[in-house]
């Protein structure tokens, strides 16, 4: 990983003017309640460029200076480390993490002043945190006041996203390897959920198994898992996770494992069997499932370099509308159901996003006002869904069904690879697995 980080820094610096200075602020520890903190998660940009996962870290890249890579970190502190864990310290920052120089984070403002002196542009994430904007503004103002003594203040603040995030968008070999691993563990955890799915359990029991699937490989949820039985699944970001699974409902599980920073993002939906019974879709559930699966397979088949997420979304809308018209849930012809917005009653969300260190990963969808063309190395999701709200006038046989099928797609030179292909979604394969039982390997 550290070698990958070094080449990423080199690649970023190649894209920056020699007079630029890039400043990257790490995440801060977030308070959960009282004196409890949330588990620390480094900012994805900093993970990408340094792999240093400590709070109070700032990285500075100065491509035109002798020392191009500076880290500001917490210094070693025996007492603090006994309580809160070991630190890399200034020595580790240079020796382990490859910085050309390292400073105490408590000197941040003074060191930034030195580092920005003589640079024309500051590249940073503008508006990410007001205190960072303020700090950089303050340093620039001080430099300007010192110009009559020969100091030189930057003239421009440039959004770092344009360069850095385009780099993150096309995955390098190390990132692809990580994505493969996180997708593999994501599949394992989903298999546990499928096998354990029987009526009488609670949504949180399924969540516990998914978490177990992640943790036994040292992973964590890359985002808040959605474990939604029956009408819970018609809430797109359902997180309460406290309802009992009823026989005849569909269970929707949207969960992805984050490993070494990179996350998978997968959704499956399947019928909940009564204990001792075989799982079976109702006619209405199966009709919706088949339409979603057909749309997803059609969309996956066109994923290749040069295609756009916009085209894929349009294709999905038309396939879903076609299916819904065919079974009478939408009237008229499919094209006008899409055009008029009638489809949104059952399909209210988009169908893809980039995937990587962030579940909704960086990368522009419309660079220069044109849809982004897929390139080898991009990873994105394809996730059509259909939802019938609990109060929909279609009546009780349809109400409260939520189906989504989501896989993670790597764009290759010649087409694509489904990184989560091992997780069944064909109806016969799914029904064989669901409720078949889990023996925990501990």
Q: Which of residues 120-149 bind Mn ion (CB under 5 A)?
A: none
Compute the least distance from the CB of residue 237 to Mn ion, in Å.
Answer: 11
Could you give the CA distance from residue 314 to residue 330 in angstroms, rounded to a whole number?
17
Whether residue 109 lies in the annotated active site: no
Q: Is 225 in the site for Mn ion (CB under 5 A)?
A: no
Nearest to 271 by CA among 424, 390, 401, 382: 401
Task: Write the DSSP string, 19-72.
Answer: TEEEEEEPP-PPEEETTEEPPP---HHHHHHH----SS-EEEE-TTSSS-EEEE
- Residue of 353, 373, 392, 417 marked active site: 353
The set of residues, in sequence order, having a beta carbon less than 8 Å from that of 232 and lying 6+ positions away, is 203, 238, 240, 243, 252, 402
Compute the least distance from the CB of residue 250 to Mn ion, in Å.
Answer: 18
Q: What is the H or E stretch that residue 83 is in? A: helix 78-84
Whether residue 318 lies in the annotated active site: no
- Residue of 45, 383, 407, 408 marked active site: 383
Q: Is 203 in the site for Mn ion (CB under 5 A)?
A: no
Whether residue 38 lies in the annotated active site: no
Q: Indicate the residue whose CB is closest to Mn ion.
A: 265
- Residue of 97, 270, 289, 387 marked active site: 387
Q: Binding residue for Mn ion (CB under 5 A) from 232, 249, 381, 389? A: 381
CA distance readout (Å), 313 to 303, 316, 335, 338, 347: 11, 5, 14, 11, 11
Q: Is 407 in the site for Mn ion (CB under 5 A)?
A: no
Q: Angle formed by the axes of helices 203-215 and 173-196, to 10°?
A: 140
Q: Is 54 in the site for Mn ion (CB under 5 A)?
A: no
**Count of residues that interact with Mn ion, criterion CB under 5 A:** 2
Could you give the CA distance from residue 60 to residue 20 in angstroms, rounded to a whole number?
10
Q: Is 263 in the site for Mn ion (CB under 5 A)?
A: no
Encoded tokens for 387: 């939802």
- Residue of 54, 203, 254, 284 marked active site: 254
Angle of CA points 44, 48, 50, to nearest 5° = 110
Encoded tokens for 319: 């396939």
Compute the least distance from the CB of residue 118 to Mn ion, in Å.
Answer: 44
Whether residue 387 lies in the annotated active site: yes
Whether residue 360 lies in the annotated active site: yes
Could you give the CA distance from residue 69 to residue 99 in angstroms, rounded to a whole number?
5
Whether residue 265 lies in the annotated active site: yes
3-class SS of residue 123: strand
**Residue found by looking up tokens 């920052």 in the block:** 93
Q: Is 258 in the site for Mn ion (CB under 5 A)?
A: no
Could you give the CA distance from residue 71 to residue 77 in angstroms, rounded to a whole number?
17
Q: How many residues does the chain have?
A: 442
Contact (CB, 8 A) for 222 and 258: yes
Nearer to Mn ion, 51 or 406 (CB): 406
Nearer to Mn ion, 54 or 265 (CB): 265
Nearer to Mn ion, 143 or 266 (CB): 266
Q: Which of residues 330-369 bind Mn ion (CB under 5 A)?
A: none
- Residue of 86, 237, 344, 426 marked active site: 237
Q: Is 420 in the site for Mn ion (CB under 5 A)?
A: no
Nearer to Mn ion, 224 or 246 (CB): 224
Could you give the CA distance from residue 315 to residue 317 in angstroms, rounded to a whole number?
5
Q: Binding residue for Mn ion (CB under 5 A) from 54, 265, 358, 407? A: 265
Compute the least distance from the CB of residue 368 to Mn ion, in Å.
Answer: 26
Q: Is 207 in the site for Mn ion (CB under 5 A)?
A: no
- Residue of 51, 265, 358, 361 marked active site: 265
Compute the least distance from the CB of residue 155 to Mn ion, in Å.
Answer: 40
Compute the least distance from the CB of residue 187 to Mn ion, in Å.
Answer: 15
Compute the least distance from the CB of residue 381 to Mn ion, in Å.
Answer: 4
Could you give the CA distance from residue 405 to residue 423 in angstroms, rounded to a whole number?
11
Contact region for Mn ion (CB under 5 A) — 94-102, 243-251, 258-266, 344-352?
A: 258-266
Interface residues with Mn ion (CB under 5 A) are 265, 381
Query: Which residues are tagged catalytic?
Result: 35, 237, 254, 265, 349, 353, 360, 383, 387, 404, 406
């Amino acid at each position: 990983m550290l070698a990958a980080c070094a080449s990423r820094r080199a690649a970023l610096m190649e894209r920056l003017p020699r007079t630029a200075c890039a400043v990257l602020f790490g995440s801060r520890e977030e308070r959960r309640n009282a004196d409890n903190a949330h588990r620390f998660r480094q900012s994805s940009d900093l993970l990408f460029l340094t792999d240093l996962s400590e709070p109070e870290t700032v990285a500075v890249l100065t491509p035109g200076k002798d020392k191009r890579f500076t880290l500001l970190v917490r210094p070693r502190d025996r007492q603090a480390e006994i309580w809160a864990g070991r630190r890399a310290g200034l020595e580790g920052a240079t020796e382990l993490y490859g910085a050309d120089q390292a400073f105490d984070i408590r000197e941040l403002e003074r060191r930034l002043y030195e580092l920005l002196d003589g640079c024309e542009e500051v590249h940073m994430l503008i508006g990410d945190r007001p205190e960072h904007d303020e700090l950089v503004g303050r340093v620039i103002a001080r430099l300007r006041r010192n110009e009559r003594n020969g100091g030189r203040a930057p003239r421009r603040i440039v959004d770092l996203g344009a360069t850095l995030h385009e780099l993150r968008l096309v995955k390098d070999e190390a990132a692809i390897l990580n994505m493969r691993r996180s997708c593999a563990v994501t599949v394992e955890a989903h298999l546990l959920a499928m096998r354990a799915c029987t009526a009488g359990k609670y949504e949180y029991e399924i969540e516990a198994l998914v978490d177990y699937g992640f943790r036994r490989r040292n992973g964590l949820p890359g985002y808040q898992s959605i474990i939604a039985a029956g009408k819970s699944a018609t809430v797109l970001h359902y997180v309460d996770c406290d309802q009992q699974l009823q026989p005849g409902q569909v269970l929707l599980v949207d969960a992805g494992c984050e490993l070494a920073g990179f996350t998978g993002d997968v959704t499956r939906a399947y019928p909940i069997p009564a204990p001792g019974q075989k799982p079976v879709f109702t006619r209405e559930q199966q009709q919706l499932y088949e339409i979603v699966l057909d749309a997803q397979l059609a969309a996956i088949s066109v994923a290749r370099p040069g295609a756009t997420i916009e085209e894929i979304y349009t294709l999905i809308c038309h396939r879903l509308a076609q299916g819904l018209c065919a079974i009478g849930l939408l009237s008229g012809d499919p094209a006008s159901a899409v055009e008029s917005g009638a489809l949104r009653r059952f399909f209210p969300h988009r169908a893809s996003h980039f995937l990587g260190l962030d579940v909704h990963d960086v990368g522009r969808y419309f660079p220069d006002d044109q849809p982004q063309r897929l390139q080898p190395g991009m990873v994105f999701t394809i996730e059509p869904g259909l939802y019938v709200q609990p109060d929909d006038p279609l009546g009780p046989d349809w109400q409260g069904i939520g189906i989504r099928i989501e896989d993670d797609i790597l764009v290759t030179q010649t087409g694509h690879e489904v990184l989560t292909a091992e997780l069944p979604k064909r109806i016969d394969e799914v029904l064989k697995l669901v409720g078949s039982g889990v023996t925990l390997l501990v």
